[in-house]
Amino acid sequence: MNSQKAIPCCFMRGGTSKGPFFLAPDLPDDIELRDKVLLAAMGSPDARQIDGIGGAHPLTSKVGIVSKSAAPGVDLEFLFAQLQPNGDKVDTTPNCGNMLAAVVPFALERALVKATGDTSTFRVLTLNTDMLCDITVQTPNGVIEYAGDTAIDGAPGTAAPVKINFLDTAGSVCSGLLPTGKVRDTICGIDVTCIDNGMPMVMIDARSMGITGYETAADLNQNASLKKSLEELRLAASVEMGLGDTKEKSYPKMCMISESQHGGTVNTRCFIPHVCHEAVGVLGAVTIATACVMPGSVCDGIARVGKGLSQNISVEHPSGEFTIEMTLDDSGNVTAASLLRTARLLMQGEVMVPRSLFQ
Ligand code: NQM
C-alpha cells in the first residue's frame, strides 16, 4: 500500500491570507488525529515548512474546514485552524475574517451550495467563535466569478468582491466586548484598551512602546526589545482579559496605533501576535474600528472619527488601508460591520500526508 494518504483539498486565497480548504468529512473526526494530519499537510513544525504546503508565515499557515449546516437558517459552517510555521499546535479558538472570505467560493466549487442568481448570499456560522455572518459573492450564470475590479490592499491586482456582513461579533473569544470591564486599563505601566469585537486585541498608543507607529513591518520584526515588551504586556493583559495563559495561543493580537497619515481614521501596526502583520486582519480591523468609535479608549484623541449612526472607518496599515462600514445604535454601540474582501481558487487536488499517522 502507498505510504502516503491523499486528502482532497482546494488551495484558496482568502483576502490577504491563503491555505488549504477541506470538506469536514474528508478529515478525521478525532481531533488529535485531525491536528496531526493538518500539521503534516502544512509541514509544521518547521520555520520553512519545507515538507508541507504551508508558506512559512502565520498568514499562510491557515486552514479552512467547511461543511453544510443543519442549523435552521444557516447554510454553511466554517472551522478555521491557525497553525504556526515553527509550532506544533493547531489553534481553533479564534476566527479569521480573511480565510472566511474564501468559504463561499470553496463551498460553490465543491457543490455544497448552489448559486441563486447573479449574486448569491449565504449565511455562515463560524464554529470557532459561534458567530454568524452573511457572505455575498458574484455568481453570474450560476458560477462563482473570481475576476472583477475590487482591489484590497495587501493583495495584488483586482478581483470579484466578496462582501462580508458580520452580525454578532462582540466577545468572540473573551466574555464580552470589553473583557476587563473597562474601556482603558493600565497594564505593565502602559495604558491599553482590551477589546474583542471579533478578535481579542490589546490596543496601545504606539508611542507608549517607544516607536512612532510608522515603521515598516520588517523593521518592527527586527526590533527584539519591542517584541519582548509586547509579549510581556500580552501575557499580562491575557490574564486581565480572562484568557489565562496564552503563551501558545495566537491571540490576543497586539495593535499599536498612531494618527492616520493618508486621510484615514487611524494608523496601525499589529502583531499577530509575534510577527508584525503586513496589513491588518479582518476581524482585527473590525475590533480596531470599534475601539475608534468608543469614547475613552486609547484611540480617543488619536483616531479621527465622524458622527452619525453609519460610519466608514479607514484603518491604515503597512501596505495600505482597510475600510469597515460600521452601524451604530443611538447609544453609540456598534451593531453591525460590513466590508469587502476578494478570494480566489489557486489550486485543487489532493494533499499527501504520511499514512503512518493513521496507524
Ligand atoms: O483578524 C491575521 C489575517 C489575520 C486574521 C491575524 C484575520 C482577522 O490577516 O479576522 O483575518 O490576526 O492572525 O488573516
pLDDT tens string 131-181: 999 999 999 999 999 999 999 999 999 999 999 999 989 999 999 999 999
Q: How far is CA 278 from CA 166, 211, 293, 343, in A?
A: 23, 17, 24, 18
3-state secondary structure 201-251: EEEEEHHHHCCCCCCCHHHHHCCHHHHHHHHHHHHHHHHHCCCCCCCCCCC
Residue spans of alpha helices (H) in the chain: 31-42, 97-100, 103-109, 217-221, 224-240, 282-292
Residue 24, pLDDT score: 98
* Ligand 1 neighbours by CB, cut-off 6 Å: 16-17, 58-59, 95-98, 199, 250, 253, 272, 277, 281-284
168 burial class (0-12, 13-18, 19+ CB within 10 angstroms)?
middle
Q: How far is the CA of 116 from the centre of ligand 1 (A)?
A: 29
> Residue with C-alpha cell 508565515?
57
- How far apart (Å, rounded) are the C-alpha atoms in residues 300 and 44? 41
Residue 1, pLDDT score: 78
Atom of ligand 1 nearest to the CA of 59: 14
pLDDT tens-digit series, residues 54-85: 999 999 999 999 999 999 999 999 999 999 99
Cβ atoms within 10 Å, residue 307 = 7
For residues 174-191, one letter each, b for 16 or more C-beta atoms within 10 angstroms of the residue's C-beta and e for the rest, the string is beebbbbeebbbebeebe
Q: How far is the CA of 156 from the centre of ligand 1 (A)?
A: 18
Given ligand 1 and candidates 129, 197, 272, which is best to mutate, with the most ligand atoms within 8 Å of its CB?
272
Portion of the chain with pLDDT greater than 70, in percent: 100
* pLDDT (average), residues 23-50: 98
Residue 205, pLDDT score: 98
- The residue contributing the CA closest to ligand 1 atom 7 is 281
pLDDT band at 307 (very low <50, low <70, confident <90, very high): confident
* pLDDT (average), residues 183-209: 98
pLDDT tens-digit series, residues 96-127: 999 999 999 999 999 999 999 999 999 999 99
- The residue contributing the CA closest to ligand 1 atom 2 is 281
- The set of residues, in sequence order, having a beta carbon less than 8 Å from that of 236 and lying 6+ positions away, is 187, 188
Amino acid (1-letter code) at residue 301: G
Mean pLDDT of the chain: 97
- The set of residues, in sequence order, having a beta carbon less than 8 Å from that of 127 and lying 6+ positions away, is 77, 78, 79, 92
Atom of ligand 1 nearest to the CA of 285: 1
Atom of ligand 1 nearest to the CA of 14: 14
For 46-49, the CB contacts below 8 A with 24+ separation are 46/85, 46/86, 47/85, 47/86, 48/85, 49/85
User: First vs last Cα of the chain: how many Å apart?
Assistant: 13
Strand, helix or coil for residue 83: strand
C-alpha cell belonging to residue 320 = 495600505
- How far apart (Å, rounded) are the C-alpha atoms in residues 353 and 335? 43
- How far apart (Å, rounded) are the C-alpha atoms in residues 271 and 252? 9
Please report the DSSP string for 36-56 in residue order: HHHHHHHT-SSTT-TTSS--S
Residue 150, pLDDT score: 97
Q: 7 forms bridges with which residues in the sheet?
A: 351
pLDDT tens-digit series, residues 212-259: 999 999 999 999 999 999 999 999 999 999 999 999 999 999 999 999
Q: How far is the CA of 214 from the centre of ligand 1 (A)?
A: 20
Residue 53 or 332, more confident: 53
Residue 322 near residue 151, CB atoms below 8 Å: no
Strand, helix or coil for residue 165: strand
C-alpha cell belonging to residue 141 = 450564470
Given ligand 1 and candidates 62, 84, 96, which is best to mutate, with the most ligand atoms within 8 Å of its CB?
96
Nearest to 98 by CA among 40, 162, 51: 162
Q: How far is the CA of 15 from the centre of ligand 1 (A)?
A: 9
